[in-house]
Amino acid sequence: MEQTHGHTSQDHNNTSHDGGHSFDTKAIWRTFWILLIITCIELVVGMFIAPRFPHNTKIWFNILYIIFTAAKAFYIIAEFMHLRHEIKNLIMTIAVPALLFIWFIGAFLWDGDSFKNLRNKLDPYKTETHKAKPTQPIHGEEPLK
Amino acid sequence: MAEAVSANQKWWAGGRSPFNVEYGKLMMWYFLMSDAFTFGAFLISYGSIRFATNAWPDPNHVFSSFPFMGHAQLPLVFVSLMTFILIMSSVTMVLAVGAGHAKDRAGVVKWMFWTIVGGIAFLACQAWEWTHLYHQGAWWGKNPFPNYDGTEATTNFSNFFFTITGFHGFHVFSGVIINIIMLIMALNGTFDRRGHYLMIEKTGLYWHFVDLVWVFVFTCFYLF
């Protein structure tokens, strides 16, 4: 994050706009392997591990997925989009507005949860219709028991 | 080239870009910020509705098909193939940008070609998945999948799924079109005449953004 990368060129009016930073193919492939491995872990957890646990433990798996997703997003933005190698001014003009998402996600999910709780409490009819079983089997699948 | 900059470089003193990038590239970053907020609004409304609902369909049940294998009970395998295709095309895009740095026209053409192939492959996978879900009876306003606990689900699941993956697919589609234009420009030698391949970098930013959005769509729809 510091401003003084040794390769940040002072004269940037030429064509090399990220300041003569030499292109590092090795870092790209390393990023690729990191992304691939994280995705594979996510899939193994999602396919084989999470279904063995009761549904009320899903929140812990979701937190795990959020951590993995954030890690992947960081690597894509930092390495593929090259933001890590830009100067601090550019990093901040992107990163600071993106922090709004933290508030945005927190506020809206909280609101949704509150709406659900209020409706379950104040509108029991809604809860009863929710218990109705579907009658038609899905095309191409076994009918539901 | 690699001159060290003193720590107290005055970026805001005028006479140069305080962001040390070309105007078009900076504007691409700002466009991507605005696009991120559009996708963010979509995904957050999905999350908010999902939190306001008592139960939701199980993705392991909904997305368990694979082409030519029917309902092979292979949850998430097809979507992981799609994810792999998109990550791979992101890598070829970076390699195209790298070839552009080196002013290597043949390299740019080669890697742009593979990026386009990856994008088209992803779109083909998505077309298959949509067709399959449509034949199962899922569409806007129609949801045949029950909740994880066997109760009847609302149509919100299909509405959000088709809207958000459709909006993302539209981004992939426009990215493929832009990549094709860049490939034609590279073949015509436009960038060689300009003396730089900055357009490839800006296209690359857009393409990586599409990959980035998919990372979030993947988590929100297929894992949660």
- Is the ipTM of this structure higher than 0.85? yes
Return the pLDDT at A136. Answer: 60
- Residue ranges and CATH numbers for the domains of chain B are 36-223 (1.20.120.80)
Contacts of A141 in chain B (CB under 8 A): 71, 136
Contact B16 A12 (CB under 8 A): yes
* pLDDT at residue A137 in the model: 61
Residues of A in contact with B89 (CB under 8 A): none
Which tokens belong to A105?
A: 């996600």
For residue A46, the model assigns a pLDDT of: 86
Chain B CA closest to residue A134: B152
Return the pLDDT at B1.
40
- How far apart CA B207 and CA B27 sit, in angstroms, is 15
Taking 70 as the pLDDT cut, the residues of chain A under it are 1-22, 126-145
Residue numbers of chain B with a pLDDT score lower than 70: 1-8, 70-73, 75
The token pair that represents B33 in the structure block: 């910020």
Task: Tell me the per-residue pLDDT of A61-102, one tens digit each, with 9 for 90 and over.
Answer: 999 999 999 999 999 999 999 999 899 999 999 999 999 999
Q: What integer pLDDT is reported at residue B166 of this predicted model?
A: 96
Q: Identify the CA nearest to B221 among candidates A142, A69, A108.
A: A69
Q: Which residue of A has its CA nearest to B217?
A: A69
Task: Note whether A46 contacts B222, CB cutoff 8 Å.
Answer: yes
Cβ contacts of B87 on chain A, cutoff 8 Å? 32, 35-36, 39
Residues listed for chain A: 145
pTM for the full predicted model = 0.85
Residue B108: alpha-carbon gap to chain centroid: 21
* pLDDT of A114: 95
